[in-house]
């Protein structure tokens, strides 16, 4: 694509050099520059791309996009006010605005996004609609699966994936939309068909500072949808968002259990193997069964059913699509152990997420609940004692350990969690090494106990101060059991 066409609509400040040149690709990582590429200089949180223009030139870059003065020769230099804000439009231009060729469903909220994307994908594929998926665990395009590094990729990577989905003739794409991606503009120039709000609880306050800012970031999704906005009005923040967007031309569909809504669940029955309920909509009622336990998964199923309702999918297909999902990696995932006790791995890393999974387990636990958990470093510190208190109130025994400590001292994080659990009557122990903590829990477990390992879920690594190490909790549990503890 000619640079002149690529620049359409971006609002340049200055251009030095020719724009009548062919651009073979775009990248914001100088290490990935190839001949003829445009290198976008991003002033990042940890590094400044403007320092790498020389590297980009040596690798064959034809042009650079900057927001600061740079000294370079042999390349066209395009200067804009904000390179990060410009990247989404450049990316959409380069890849031909792919979200105009498929219908995009976006899900935002603190918890439930991943499970809901899996449920929606299953329903829509049961309806014969080719559906790509993009989220925290992976990106799925037909038979291709790419492991994800973040919930919502950078705009350039996102548009590239949508281009691949469009070229593979996907009818729909369903994606998790993080608050960071909305606030930082990663999903700008993505055309959404349906937007879904699941819930909002304390998380990411290190970035957003207040819950109001966090909610306002989530709310941005619902001003860029074409066909339907779907809101959980059992959530107080959902009710606020629903009130603030009700005047929009995009139709509003509400769902809930406790408050009157367009899509509702009643006669809920929960057991260790899943949940059954009656789904009611303005057009029909039907009994549903999902094979993932917990009231919070009723909400996820309602969100998925609401998306299907908005897309005109019939009730039998909704029923079949939901029933076909037997599990979601790292979400209430039961590990095969061949022991008299049960081991569950769950991604719960927020107060609400930990409370939800523990309340669910309490509904069917016959023995004790032993909870192994920690909190991530370089993230919202205020939730640490809150999660300690929740674990203490809803567990019979807790093992406080390390999660992804990153650059923080693990014991400092553990001490902050401990301050919360001390306010309860729960017995607990602090073991910094997460493998040792899991080993202790398995050793302590008795017949009919449930060992809940919370926080990392699908992750197969642990981020330490100076390195990232392999850490797949499924493999660790199996290895410990082979060693006979």
- Model confidence over 121-158: pLDDT tens digits? 999 999 999 999 999 999 999 999 998 877 788 999 99
- The C-alpha atoms of residue 29 and residue 56 are separated, in whole angstroms, by 9
Question: Confidence band (pLDDT; 50, 70, 90) for 73?
Answer: confident
In this structure, what token pair is assigned to residue 167?
């070229």
In this structure, what token pair is assigned to residue 353?
């997420």
pLDDT digits (tens, 9 = 90+) for 44-64: 877 899 999 999 999 999 999
pLDDT digits (tens, 9 = 90+) for 240-295: 999 999 999 999 999 999 999 999 999 999 888 899 999 999 999 999 999 999 99
In this structure, what token pair is assigned to residue 203?
């998380």
Which domains does the chain possess?
Answer: 3-94 (3.40.1390.10), 98-323 (3.40.1190.10), 333-482 (3.90.190.20)
- The C-alpha atoms of residue 382 and residue 201 are separated, in whole angstroms, by 12
- For the entire predicted model, the pTM comes to 0.89
On average, the pLDDT of the chain sits at: 95
- The C-alpha atoms of residue 441 and residue 197 are separated, in whole angstroms, by 36
**3-state DSSP assignment of residue 108:** strand
Q: Which residues contact 417 (CB under 8 A, 6 or more apart)?
A: 374, 375, 384, 385, 387, 388, 400
Length of the chain, please? 485
Reduced to 3 DSSP states, what percent helix, strand and coil does the chain have, rounded to the nearest 5? 35, 25, 40
- The C-alpha atoms of residue 95 and residue 90 are separated, in whole angstroms, by 9
Q: How does DSSP assign 16-70, residue by residue?
A: ES-S-SB--EEES-GGG--TTEEEE--B-SS-BGGGGHHHHHHTT-SEEEESS--
With 0-12 / 13-18 / 19 or more C-beta atoms within 10 angstroms meaning exposed / middle / buried, residue 467 is exposed
**3-state DSSP assignment of residue 176:** strand
């Amino acid at each position: 694509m000619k640079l002149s066409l690529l620049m359409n609509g971006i609002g340049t400040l200055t251009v030095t050099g020719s724009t009548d040149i062919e651009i073979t690709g775009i990248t914001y990582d100088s290490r990935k520059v190839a001949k003829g590429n445009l290198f976008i200089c991003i002033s990042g949180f940890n590094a400044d791309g403007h320092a790498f223009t020389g590297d980009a030139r040596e690798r064959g870059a034809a042009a650079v996009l900057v927001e600061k003065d740079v000294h370079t020769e042999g390349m066209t230099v395009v200067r804009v006010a904000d390179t990060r804000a410009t990247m989404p439009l450049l990316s959409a231009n380069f890849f031909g605005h792919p979200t105009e060729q498929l219908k995009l469903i976006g899900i935002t909220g603190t918890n439930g996004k991943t499970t809901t994307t899996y449920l929606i994908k299953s329903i829509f594929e049961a309806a014969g609609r080719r559906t790509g998926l993009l989220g925290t665990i992976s990106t799925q395009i037909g038979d291709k699966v790419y492991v994800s590094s973040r919930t919502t990729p950078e705009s350039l990577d996102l548009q590239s994936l949508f281009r691949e989905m469009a070229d593979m003739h996907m009818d729909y794409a369903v994606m998790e939309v993080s608050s960071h991606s909305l606030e930082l503009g990663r999903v700008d120039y993505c055309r959404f068909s349906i937007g879904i709000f699941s819930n909002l609880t304390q998380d990411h306050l290190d970035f957003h500072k207040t819950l109001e800012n966090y909610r306002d970031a989530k709310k941005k999704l619902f001003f860029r949808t074409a066909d339907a906005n779907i809101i959980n009005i059992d959530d107080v923040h959902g009710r606020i968002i629903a009130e603030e967007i009700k005047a929009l031309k995009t139709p509003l569909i509400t769902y809930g259990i406790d408050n009157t809504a367009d899509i509702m669940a009643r006669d809920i029955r929960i057991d260790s193997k899943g949940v059954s309920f009656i789904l009611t909509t303005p057009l029909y009622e039907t009994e549903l069964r999902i094979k993932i336990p917990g009231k919070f998964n009723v909400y996820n199923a309602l969100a998925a059913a609401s998306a299907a309702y908005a897309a005109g999918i019939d009730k039998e297909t909704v029923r079949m699509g939901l029933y076909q999902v037997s599990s979601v990696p790292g979400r209430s995932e039961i590990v095969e152990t061949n022991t008299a006790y049960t081991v569950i791995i769950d991604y719960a890393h927020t107060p609400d997420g930990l409370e939800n999974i523990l309340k669910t387990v309490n509904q069917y636990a016959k023995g004790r609940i032993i909870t192994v958990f920690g909190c991530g470093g370089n993230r919202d510190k205020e939730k640490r004692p809150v999660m300690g208190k929740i674990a203490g109130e809803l567990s019979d025994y807790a093992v406080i350990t390390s999660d992804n400590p990153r650059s923080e001292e693990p014991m400092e994080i553990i001490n902050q969690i401990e301050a919360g659990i001390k306010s309860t009557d729960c017995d607990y122990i602090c073991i910094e090494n997460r493998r040792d903590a899991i080993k202790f829990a398995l050793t302590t477990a008795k017949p009919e106990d449930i060992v809940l390992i919370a926080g990392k879920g699908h992750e197969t690594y642990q981020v330490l101060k100076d390195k990232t190490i392999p850490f797949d909790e499924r493999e660790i549990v199996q290895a410990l059991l082979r060693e006979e503890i």
